[in-house]
Amino acid sequence: MKLAIITGISGQDGAYLAKLLLDKGYKVLGVIRPNRNRELSGLNFLEIEEKVDLKELDMLNQKAVEKLVEEYQPNEFYNLAAQSSVGVSFKKPVATFEFNTISVINILEAIRLKSPETKYYQASSSEMFGNIGVENLPLKESVLFNPASPYGISKASAHWITVNYREAYGIKACCGILFNHESCLRGENFVIKKIIRTALEIKSGKTDVLELGNLTVQRDWGYAPKFVEAMWLMLQQDDFKEYLICSGEVTSLRNIAENVFEKLELDFDKHVKVEQSLMRNVELDIIYGNNSKAKKELGWDYDLSLNELIDTLIKDEKEYMEWKVKKVN
Ligand code: NAP
């Protein structure tokens, strides 16, 4: 039986990846931060909390990370833990940069010293590309980074240290450069989750208004449960390389929000207000990618259209909201 360690198992991708690996027969060890007293709702919702082992660990403590890797000798190590919000990174740049980079070096050092055969996946982000010119669109793996937020800069550093450990020490490490991917397990402060949840609350009369920031941004949004499949596929290859994982379809935030309201038969103009305080310090106007390398070399079979994605997210969010109500009662 293969053993996989997942950091960030309490987050969106961690929960879906844990489910995928358990279904494939892996033993899964999830790393959570010490004294974490919030419930693990993602694992709970997917009904796998009892099926994974959990270990509290301070990932900034190098000795503790080394001990973990030495003790478990994992076949695969998926590093998904990060301060993952661009907006929060402007408010907490030091904590974002420190955690998102030092934790990565600690793991890579631990693998180099204690378990060099362990395969390592690093969660890189399209935010590393930052303000690229439109002539570079759709993005490919070869486009240079020009990050425009503390989050993007931290992820770019983590990305390059991962590549460096592969090149310098032969560590079986690679980075998945993932574009925005959504699900009902997305953090409450992320915009697609907020739009769908609030629209459903407006529909049920629980609230009346949805406040949003910049609606003109254009992005490439995908479905999280399909994106974690690409992470696993990347660690099943003989060569360890970087891949863009994205839907390949681009649209504006306004279009997504209007679509959600239309599908729920709600009046967009009546309920949606643009709130200046939700605007970012620096905003990427448009970013989308080309997923053909991942499809061709990994056999990754992403084929959800934007329309199907929105339908799926609304359906999943309804289920999740019902599950939460049942849990409380
Ligand atoms: P998420 O839901 O925000 O989960 C982040 C995870 O990191 C949580 O388990 C969180 O633990 C943990 N974490 C955050 N700060 C920590 C700290 N200081 N110490 C220990 N653990 C900490 O993120 P996600 O959407 O699953 O994304 C997974 C990874 O992919 C992240 O690295 C993210 O940056 C990257 N990524 C995501 C997207 C996307 O669209 N979702 C796109 C590109 C890249 P707590 O629950 O204790 O806070």
State pLDDT tens for residues 230-251: 999 999 999 999 999 999 999 9
* Residue 329 pLDDT greater than 90, yes or no: no
Inside any domain, residue 295: no
Tell me, what CATH number does 192's domain have?
A: 3.90.25.10
Inside any domain, residue 293: no
Inside any domain, residue 300: no
* Residue 131 pLDDT greater than 80, yes or no: yes
Determine contact, residues 111/164, Cβ cutoff 8 Å: no
Q: Same domain, yes or no, for 12 and 159?
A: yes
Q: How far is the CA of 8 from the centre of ligand 1 (A)?
A: 6
Q: Which domain holds residue 261?
A: 186-219+250-287+306-328
Catalytic annotation, residues? 125, 127, 151
Q: Catalogue the long-range contacts made by 42-45 (C-beta closer than 8 Å, 24 or more residues apart).
A: 42/10, 42/11, 42/12, 42/14, 42/15, 42/16, 42/185, 43/9, 43/10, 43/15, 43/18, 44/327, 45/15, 45/184, 45/185, 45/320, 45/323
Determine contact, residues 230/300, Cβ cutoff 8 Å: yes
Q: Same domain, yes or no, for 16 and 160?
A: yes
Cβ(243) – ligand 1 distance below 6 Å: no
* Residue 297 pLDDT greater than 90, yes or no: yes
Q: How far apart are CA 89 and CA 148, in angstroms?
A: 11
Cβ(12) – ligand 1 distance below 6 Å: yes
Q: Same domain, yes or no, for 121 and 231?
A: yes
Q: How far is the CA of 202 from the centre of ligand 1 (A)?
A: 28
Tokens coding 98? 């420190």
Q: Same domain, yes or no, for 48 and 127?
A: yes
Q: Same domain, yes or no, for 28 and 53?
A: yes
Q: Name the residue of 9, 55, 78, 80 to mutate for ligand 1: max ligand atoms within 8 A of Cβ.
A: 80
pLDDT at 2: 98
* Residue 91 pLDDT greater than 80, yes or no: yes
Domain count along the chain: 2
Residue type, 44: N
**pLDDT tier, 38 (very low <50, low <70, confident <90, very high otherwise):** confident
Tell me, what CATH number does 232's domain have?
A: 3.40.50.720
pLDDT at 307: 97
Determine contact, residues 112/104, Cβ cutoff 8 Å: no
Inside any domain, residue 299: no
User: For a pLDDT cut of 90, what percent of the chain falls above it?
Assistant: 94
What Å distances lie between residue 91 and 99, 156, 251, CA to CA?
A: 14, 19, 27
pLDDT, the chain, mean: 97
Inside any domain, residue 297: no
Determine contact, residues 223/230, Cβ cutoff 8 Å: no
Q: Same domain, yes or no, for 138 and 208?
A: no
Q: How far is the CA of 152 from the centre of ligand 1 (A)?
A: 13
Q: Same domain, yes or no, for 214 and 225?
A: no
Inside any domain, residue 145: yes
* Residue 70 pLDDT greater than 80, yes or no: yes
Inside any domain, residue 301: no
Q: Same domain, yes or no, for 173 and 34?
A: yes
Cβ(81) – ligand 1 distance below 6 Å: yes
* Residue 282 pLDDT greater than 80, yes or no: no
Q: How many residues are there in the chain?
A: 329
Q: Same domain, yes or no, for 73 and 148?
A: yes
Tokens coding 170? 């032969």
Strands 181-182 and 76-79: unpaired
| Mean pLDDT along residues 222-229 | 98
